[in-house]
Structure 1
C-alpha cells in the first residue's frame, strides 16, 4: 500500500490454532460453573432458605429458594458459554476477541454476584435480615470491566497479508529504498497455557471462598496460587515483531514484558532447529546455547548480538523473520550518503 509516496510491505505468519487457549477457556468455563454451584451448597447449613438475591438500594427486597439460587446463575452461565462458542465459531473473524471477552467478563460478574449473595446471607435467620449491599456492587462491576478489557487486549490479532517467502539458503531479503517492512509472528505452548489456567482458576476459587466467608483462608494462599499463574502465563506464549526499529519479543498474552534490540545491536540472524531437551526445558531458558524461549520444538529465530550472545525464540515463519533482520542489519552498515 502507498502512504505519502512510501511503499509499506507487511509480512506476517499465520497464527497457529490456539489449542491451549481453547483448553484454558474450557477449564475456565467448567471452573466458573463449579464455583457457582458449590458456593451456596457448601454453605447451605449457614444460609436461610429462601435467601435474599435482590436488593432495592441497600436493603434486600426479593428472595429465591436455595435450589433456585444454585441453578439460576449456573443456567445463565451455560447460556453465556454457548454464546461465546457461537461467537467464536460464526463471528470469529468479524469480532475477534468477543468470545474471550464474554467468558472473562461474564465469569467474573456471576462469581462475584454469587459470592456477595452468599456473604450477605451467611448466618442469617431470614432472608430479610441479609446484610445490605453497597461497595460490593461497585467492586464487582469494576472487576467485570477490567476482566473484559484484559481479555480483549489479550486476544488481539495481527492482521496482515503474507508476503512471498525468501529464497532458500542463507536468509536474506531485498528491501527497496523507502520501503517499510514489518514481520509479525506468534507461538504458544498449549500445555503451559492450560497449566496457567488451572492455577488461575484455583486462585480465583480461593479468593471467592475467602470473600464470601465460606472458608477461612487468607491472602498468602491466594498469592501462593496467583504468582505461579502469572509466571507460567508469561512464559506460555510469545509475540515477535521485526520492523525498521529492530526486533521486539513480547511475552505472555499482552506482549509484556518485552525484550528489544535495534539493528545496530545485532550481528546477524539465522534459523536453527532446536528441541526442548537442547534448550533445557520449556519456557524461558538460559544455558550454553544462550537464551532460548522454547515453546515448541522445531525452527527457531536466533539472533547474535554485538556482545557475542545468542537469543533464540521458537516461532513460526522464523526464516522470513531472519531474512528481514539480516536486511535491516546490512542497511545499518551501509555508509551514509
Structure 2
C-alpha cells in the first residue's frame, strides 16, 4: 500500500498555517491602518452604495476574528470530509479577509464613517475570489483514506494472582494555547463591555467561550488500563471520562495515525471511527460493540497487549 504520510502531514500543516495567517490578517489589518481610521468604521452599505451601519474599531477587529475562529474550530473539531473542509476554509478565509480589507480601504482618510467610500467593486471581487479559492481548496485536498484492516493485536503474559495497571498521558500544547487565546478574547470582550460605555457583546463572548472550553477538553488525555477495563479521561481536570469494560472489548492494538487521516486535531469522527488525535504517531485502538475508538498516547503497544490479556481473561470467566 502506498504511504501517504507526507501528503497528509503537508495538508495538516497547510491548514494550520492558513488558519493562523488568516486570523493574523483579520486582527492586524485595522490597527496597521489606525492612523487613517476613526473610532468607528462603516461596516454595512445599503443598496444605494452609501454606508448605513458602523462598528467601533475594536469590534471591527474582533467580530471577523470570532467568525473565523468558530469556522476553523468547527472544521477541525467536528466531522467534515477533507475536500469540504478545504473548500470551507479556503473560501471562508478569502471572503473574510477580502471583506476586512475592503472595509479598511473604504474608511481610510474619512473623518466620519458616513463619508466612507462605496465597496461594490471590492465586494464583487471578494465573492469571485472566494468561489475560486473554494474550488482550489476542493481540488488540492482530495485524497482517499483507506481504513486499516482490523487485527487481534499483541497479548501480555500475566502470572496467576498478579495484577497490572498501564497508565499513559498525552497533551497538545498548541490546543492548550488555542484554548487560552480564545478564552482570553472572551474575557477581554466581557471586561471591555463591563468597564466601558457599551454593554457586553454576548454574540462575541459566547462563541469564544464555547470554543475555549471545547478545545481545552480535547487538549490532553489520561489513559488507564486496569482489570476493570479502559478509562480515557479528557482535559486537565480529567473530566469527562469514557469507560469500556474489559469483557466488552473485542481487541486492542497499536496503530500509527496522522491528523490528516482522521480529519484534524482533537475529538474526531471519520471512516476510521472515533479518534482522539493529539499528535501524530502511535495510537491505542480498540474495538467494542463493532465500533473503533483510538487515542494517541505513548507506549500504546504495551497498553494494547495488557488490554487484550485482560479482555481474554474476562471473556473466559463463567
Output the TM-score relative to the length of structure 1: 0.47
Output the TM-score relative to the length of structure 2: 0.50
